[in-house]
Structure 1
C-alpha cells in the first residue's frame, strides 16, 4: 500500500465513492481527474466529500485556480467551482461496495473499467452508424418513391389541367376572312385558370362574336364567375338580342343568381364579308387597332359603359370600325398593361409594341406581346391577349 499524498487522496476518494454506491466508471473518471489536478498543483489539494439525496458531492480546493481549458480537458468535468474550488456531483446507483486497498491494484482496475467503457461506447457508435446507414438507405428509398409518386401526380394533374383548359378556353372558330390567335396565362402558375376568360363563336348570321371577361378576384371562384358571365352572354347572343343590350341583360339576369359577381366585359362583333367591327365595352381595357398602313389607336367609346355587377351596368356607346386587309385588332385584359402598376404607361408601351409586332405571324403576336409587356412584373395578374387580323 502506497502512502504518498496523492495515493492517500485517491484512497479517500475510492472509499467515499464505494460507500456512496457510485458506479465504477464514474469513480474511475473522478479518481483520474483528481489525480491529474493534484499532480500539477503546487501543494496537495484539500478534499471534502458529502453524500446525501442519492448522490455524492466531492469538493477539491486547490492552491492555484485551474483555467477553463484545463478543466475541459479533464475526464470528468466539475459541476461547479471558481477555478480553485472544484465540485463534482456523482449519482449513487449501487449499494455500498469495497475497493482494493492497494493503490496500484485499484488504479489498474479503474483503468480496465475505463477501457471496457470505451470499448462499449465504440461498439455503441458502430451499431448507431449501422442503424443510421440503414435508416438513410430507407429514407433515400422512400424519397425516391415519393419523387416517383409526385411525378405521376404531376403528369395526372397536367392531363386534368389540359382538359380544363380545353373546356374553359375554346379553340378559335374557323373563319376564312380573319386570322385569330390567343395567349392565356393565369397569375398563379400552379392553377390552370384564373378570373380572365374568353369565348368566341360564329352566330347563325355568319358574324363572329367574341366575349372577353375579367372577373374580380383570383382562383376558382373568379373562374366560376367569369364562366357564368361568358355562358350568359353566349345564350343571350344566340337568342338574337342586340349587341348594345347584352351586358345590361346579362347583369340583370345574374344579379339574383350571383349577387357578389363583378366583372368587366368586352364584346366584339366581326362581319367576315365586309370587315365591319362593332365593340361594346363594359369597364374593360380599351382595344388596340393597328392598321396595315402602320397607324395605331385605342378604340375608345364616346360614352363609357359599366361591367356586370357595377352600378348602372351596360354599354355606354358602341365603337364602329371597318377592318381593311392586314389590319390588326388586339383585345386584352388588364394583366397585360398593369404589370408595372401604371395603367397609362402600360397602354403607351402596348401601342408601341403592337406597332412593332403587327407585321409578324398572327399566331405569334399574342405571346410576343405578353413576353415584352411582362419584362418587369411588379403586379402579377391573369392575362389574356387576343389578336384578330383581317386576311387579304
Structure 2
C-alpha cells in the first residue's frame, strides 16, 4: 500500500473511532488515548489496512467494546496511551466507558486536524488538572505530620498519573502539532525539531504549512515565550489563529496584527512565508522573528529580513512585506532562535548558520537539516528548543519540461 493510500487509511481509521466515541458519549480525553493508540499501531505496520472497525456495547458494564484487526497477534506489550486487552487473537480490543443512555445529539463533523486539536486540548486540560491536584497534595503533605506514609503513596500514584498524561501529550504533540509537509509539485520540504529537554519535548516552537486555494503555499513558524505545556498551548493558539485568518481571506500583511488582537494575553514571535510555486515569487511577513536564510543555487547566502513586532509586543504587526523571487535550486530556511543562540552570540550564530547551510545545500533535505542542526550545536552554552524548516524550489512545471 503506497504512503498516500496508507495515510488515507489511517485517517479513515481515526475518523471511524472518533465517530463511535462521539456516538456513545466517550469523553474526548479518553477518545484521544484510543485514537492515538490505534494510530501508533497502524503506523508501526501492525494494523490490517484498510481497517474494518468492529464494535458493540456491553450494557452490563456500560462499556463500548472496539476491535481493530491486526496483521498478527501482538507478540509483546506495547507502550500505548490506552493498551488493548491481552489477547492471542489477531485483533486489538479496547473497552471504554460510555454514557448509560445513548446520545441523541450528533456532534458536528470535524476534519482530521480539527479533531486532533480538540483531543490535544482535552489532554492538555487533563494534564493541567492533574498538575493542580499534584501541587495541592504536596501542600497538604507539608502542613500535616499525620498520615505521612499514606499521603506519600498517594503522591507517588499522582506522579505516575501525571507522567502518563504528559507522555500522551508529548506523543500527540509530536504526531499532530508538527504536521507532515504538504505535497506540492516543484517543491521539496523538510523539517528538523530538537527540544532543549529530551525528557520533556514540548515547548513554544511550532510551525504550520498548508496549500491555499490558489495553489500558493503558506508556512508559519512561531516561537512563544515561556516553557512547558502552557507555552505549547500559546504557540498552538497563534498557529491556529493565523491559519484561520488566512482561510478567512485576510491579506498577508494583516495576519500578525490580527493574531495579536485575538491572542492578547500571550507573547510570541512569528514569521510567515508565502510562495507561489508557479512563479517562484516569495513574500515574507515578520513579527519579531529571526530572518529567513536563502541559499541560492549558486551557493550565495542572504538573510531575508521582514520587519515587524510579534504577538503580545507593543504595536504588533508586520511593518512591511519582503518580496523576492526564487530560482530553481534555491533553498529557503526558516528557524527559531535556539539554532543561532546556542553559543550566546546571535551575530556569530548567523554567520555559522550561513556557512553550515551552504555546505549542506546540495544534500537531500531529509539529511541536510539534521546535519545543519548538529553543526550548529557542536558547542552549546545556551539551550533552547530548535526548529529548522527547509524549502527547496525545484522550478515551475514549464522549467522542468524545458530541462528535459
Which TM-score tier does this pair reach, normalised by the shorter chain? 0.5 to 0.7
Q: Which residue of 1 aligns with 2:314?
A: 311
Tell whether 2:252 aligns with 1:243: yes
Structure 1, 320-329 or 153-162: larger mean CA deviation? 153-162
Q: Give yes or no for contact 1:365–1:387 (8 Å, CA) kept in 2.
A: no
Counterpart-to-counterpart distance in 1, 2:385 and 2:331? 23
How many positions carry a matched residue from both structures?
Answer: 237
Q: Which residue of 2 aligns with 1:232?
A: 241
Q: Give yes or no for contact 1:226–1:263 (8 Å, CA) kept in 2.
A: yes
Structure 1, 262-271 or 292-301: larger mean CA deviation? 292-301
Which structure 2 segments of 5+ residues have no match?
Answer: 1-159, 396-404
Q: Deviation string for 1:70-119 (max 9, x for gaps)?
A: xxxxxxxxxxxxxxxxxxxxxxxxxxxxxxxxxxxxxxxxxxxxxxxxxx
Q: Which residue of 2 aligns with 1:336?
A: 339
Q: Deviation string for 1:25-83 (max 9, x for gaps)?
A: xxxxxxxxxxxxxxxxxxxxxxxxxxxxxxxxxxxxxxxxxxxxxxxxxxxxxxxxxxx
TM-superposed deviation, 1:163: 2.8
Which structure 1 segments of 5+ residues have no match?
Answer: 1-149
TM-superposed deviation, 1:361: 0.7
1:367 is paired with a residue of what secondary structure?
helix
1:180 is paired with a residue of what secondary structure?
strand
Listed as ranges, the matches of 1:1-392 within 5 Å are: 161-255=170-264, 259=265, 261-301=266-306, 304-392=307-395
Counterpart-to-counterpart distance in 2, 1:381 and 1:156? 23
Counterpart-to-counterpart distance in 1, 2:363 and 2:165? 36
| TM-score for both structures, normalised by structure 1 | 0.58
Q: Which residue of 2 aligns with 1:112?
A: none
Residues 204 and 189 of structure 1: CA distance in aligned 2, closer, same or farther (over 3 Å): same
Q: Which residue of 1 aligns with 2:49?
A: none
Counterpart-to-counterpart distance in 1, 2:282 and 2:218? 10
1:285 is paired with a residue of what secondary structure?
coil
Counterpart-to-counterpart distance in 2, 1:266 and 1:371? 23
Q: Which of structures 1 and 2 has the bigger CA Rg?
A: 1
Q: Which residue of 2 aligns with 1:141?
A: none
| TM-score for both structures, normalised by structure 2 | 0.56
Residues 253 and 177 of structure 1: CA distance in aligned 2, closer, same or farther (over 3 Å): same
Counterpart-to-counterpart distance in 1, 2:366 and 2:393? 13
